[in-house]
Chain A
Amino acid sequence: MSETMPEEQRHSALARLAHWTQAAAIVIMIGSGWRIYDNVPIFPFEFPYWITLGGDKYLATTTSNDWGTGNAIAWHFAGMWLLLIGFGLFVLNGVLTGHFWRDFLPLTPRTFLRDFIAAATFKLAHRLGEYNAVQKAFYWGVMFAILMMFASGLAIWKPVQLGWLTWLFGGFPAARVVHFIFMSAIVAFMAVHVMLVILVPKTFVAMTLGRATHSPSVPHE
């Protein structure tokens, strides 16, 4: 029997509130965003109706003379405040408690490459409460993606009042494409994130109840 330290993961109440607020907001933003996209798709495909948010679209043809686009837009511009609150709390918590520097740093291209190769060949061990370099990079990446969603979203919402921002994104039609690209990045992050939670379910316990422990009798991979 090895002398492995018991693993423990803790999340403060604030961190958990920030996490789940963002999770709910992102689901609302993506679901309604897909309904809005489907009304006038940018690319030659549509999202399946049943996965989008914006009410019963067949009912909407009678009540609103549309496909629920107005309803979806109402969701989108309500969800944006929820996301702003969740993201704000997350950043506040990360900066004030030092969570960002303590858990998401240090991060170098070398450690990232090492852990990325290990993960790709299924040789990367997961220790509760510790983040590997790939995870660290992903968390910085998704934070950047959310920031870019706010920026490109504002550029689409206010192309006159915030004309300089729309200009930075290359104009109104280009800002829509940027908004789509970072949405895709967030969806990709969520897919990997949820898959890893399924592989290590105790991380879900920690993010919900605040604490999870693991006392390995043998070093696990």
Chain B
Amino acid sequence: MNKPVLIDPALRTAVQRRSLLRGSLSLGALSLLGGCDITDGDTVQAALHAISRWNDRVQAFLFSESNMAREYNASEVAKEMRYNAYYGEKDVVPIDAGTYRLGLSGLIADKQPWTVEKLLALPRKIQRTRHVCVEGWSYIGQWSGVPLGDFLRHIGADTNAKYVGFQCADGYYEGIDMPTALHPQTIMAVTAGDEILPAKFGFPLKIRIPTKLGFKNPKWVTAIYVTNTQPRGFWSDRGYNWFSGI
């Protein structure tokens, strides 16, 4: 998601201009009565959050391990993948392959960190699936990597635990439910298209989850942990639904 980060002066002018529109009879005007938007109040937001948590449970119920995301042909893959993060492309800080380590923690038996070399040596499964952004745009991309479930079993993770969490080099963080982590199409992607993950698409490690919205697919992953406490997510901390399955 390309998101504005700071309020610029033009926006501030727009805020002032907005007050002129407040008199109009509209849904927006109703909620803006009193100079600030009452729908931003604690009570309304708490109610929306509670319903969002209920929707997490509904989505977990709708999720089935045997439902596969549709796989496409090589000819259907988009020529150019769309860059997205919570900051612009020019602010991407490439990760140094030599010093990179994938940390493992939580309910995992073998917490030995992994190097890029070891990650690239893992068997890879190719997938061509549709990346669906919460904003509505989508594209068909191609990734390859070892299924996360196979990796978790390989390192002796407790797959009866409830969640798997991820930390990223850019401060991003995400987490998913264990059934999704064990889904055969959830992979630890080390390639995109026909090449090793480019810096802007998450080198050296992206978790590709075609059963989740795009923002639940973390890039530049530096740590994986297994836990029974629901991991927080960068966007769910900003009002987006946590489960966000598709």
Contact = CB atoms under 8 A, between A and B. Distances in A.
B211 A160 contact: yes
Given A55-B37, A159-B130, A160-B69, A70 B26 contact: no
Contacts, number: 132
Interface stretch (B4-12, B143-151, B196-204): B4-12
27 contacts: A36-B135, A40-B135, A40-B136, A50-B18, A50-B32, A51-B28, A53-B27, A55-B39, A55-B40, A58-B12, A58-B14, A59-B40, A61-B3, A62-B7, A66-B4, A71-B239, A73-B134, A73-B241, A74-B52, A74-B240, A77-B51, A78-B47, A78-B51, A160-B68, A160-B246, A172-B130, A173-B138
Most A-side CB within 10 Å, residue of B14, B45, B63, B136:
B136
A161 B37 contact: no
B5 A65 contact: yes
Contacts of B100: none
Given A77-B55, A78-B51, A52 B28 contact: yes
Interface in A15-74: 27, 31, 36-37, 39-40, 42, 48-56, 58-59, 61-67, 69-71, 73-74
Q: What is the predominant secondary structure among interface residues of chain A facing chain B?
A: helix
A161 to B, nearest CB: 5
A75 interface: yes
B4 A39 contact: no
A131 interface: no
A71 B136 CA distance: 15
Nearest to B129: A160
A65 B67 CA distance: 33
Sorting the interface of chain B by its residue count into under 10, 10 to 19, 20 to 34 or 35 or more gives 35 or more
A160 B210 contact: yes
Nearest to B137: A40
Contact of B3 (A58, A65, A162): A65
Contacts of A69: 134-135
A163 B136 CA distance: 16
B238 A51 contact: no
Contacts of A50: 18, 21-22, 24, 26, 28-29, 32
B121 interface: no
B71 to A, nearest CB: 11
B70 interface: yes
A49 to B, nearest CB: 7
A69 B241 CA distance: 11
Contact of B49 (A52, A55, A74): A74
A53 B197 CA distance: 39
A57 to B, nearest CB: 9
A157 interface: yes
Contacts of B130: 159, 172
Contact of A53 (B39, B47, B135): B39
A81 interface: yes
